[in-house]
Structure 1
């Protein structure tokens, strides 16, 4: 009997160790996946910042040329500024994704991140935008008839008037 007990205990211990190893491997895989995602986002941010810097440089050269009374196409400056705005919006989106991948919030005002449960930026104090409530599928909601003559139409519960609910205490003299 002792041998059977020992074998059963060894099997149970091996099973537990195997389950623990699977959990550890899953956690390591998720951590690695999150790291890869964050690294990709960081690279995209780096590339986009470089593109924005190049556009700023080009705008600066055109402005300097205008300062020296050289001919400059204003439409070209407008095109570059529009492109800068577009790329900066994309950069902000990437920063938000990167922060979310680290379970943090990105502050649009100062560029720092804070914990997800914070209502205000820990660095500059600006209030974070409220998270939108998850949208429900309108197809899932039952349709409520609105025809007053329809007997199946839901009626709003009638709230009793407050005067009826508040009874005045009766005097003992009555």
Structure 2
């Protein structure tokens, strides 16, 4: 193998590694943007719920099914956000401590913040165990 072939191979390998890393960065950025959009939807629904609850309160009405539907929609949005956060952890090759939510290297056995022993259970981005 000539020196030129060796240099060409190293440049090609480096370019492939950089492309893989930049692809992950782009995907993480897209996921973060999606999370922000989903969180904005939740904020709007919170405002609608608050306004509706207050109007019902003023009118002396019991809470209705529309509020229940909005609460269910918020739960669905939070599930979606947690899935995206889990994907980000996966792309970054890290995990979240199930006790305190601190981001840890995938191979860490103990959390450096709370000291909890890490196990093999899947943990979501909010630090909650998946069952």
Inter-partner Cα distance in structure 2 for 1:88 and 1:49: 8
2:8 aligned with 1:18, yes or no? yes
Q: TM-score, normalised by structure 2?
A: 0.77
Task: Identify if the C-alpha distance between structure 1 residues 121 and 60 changes in structure 2 by more than 3 Å, giving closer, same or farther.
Answer: farther
1:60-71 to 2 correspondences below 5 Å = 60-69=50-59, 71=61
CA contact (8 A) 2:24 2:91 kept: yes
1:6-155 to 2 correspondences below 5 Å = 12-69=2-59, 71=61, 74-106=64-96, 112-119=102-109, 122-123=112-113, 130-131=120-121
Q: Per chain length, whose mean CA-contact separation is higher, i.e. which structure has more relative contact order (CA < 8 Å, sep 6+)? A: 2
Runs of 4+ in 1 over 3 A off after TM superposition: 70-73, 106-112, 118-129
RMSD: 2.6
Q: TM-score, normalised by structure 1?
A: 0.60
Deviation of residue 128 (structure 1)? 5.8
Task: Identify if the C-alpha distance between structure 1 residues 77 and 49 changes in structure 2 by more than 3 Å, giving closer, same or farther.
Answer: same
Inter-partner Cα distance in structure 2 for 1:96 and 1:47: 17
Inter-partner Cα distance in structure 1 for 2:97 and 2:24: 21
Which structure has the greater CA radius of gyration? 1
CA contact (8 A) 1:105 1:115 kept: yes
Inter-partner Cα distance in structure 1 for 2:82 and 2:39: 11
Work out the number of aligned pairs and report it.
122
Inter-partner Cα distance in structure 2 for 1:126 and 1:107: 8
Inter-partner Cα distance in structure 2 for 1:91 and 1:108: 17
Structure having the larger proportion of residues in helix: 2
- Mark the runs of 5 or more structure 2 residues left unpaired by the alignment: 123-131
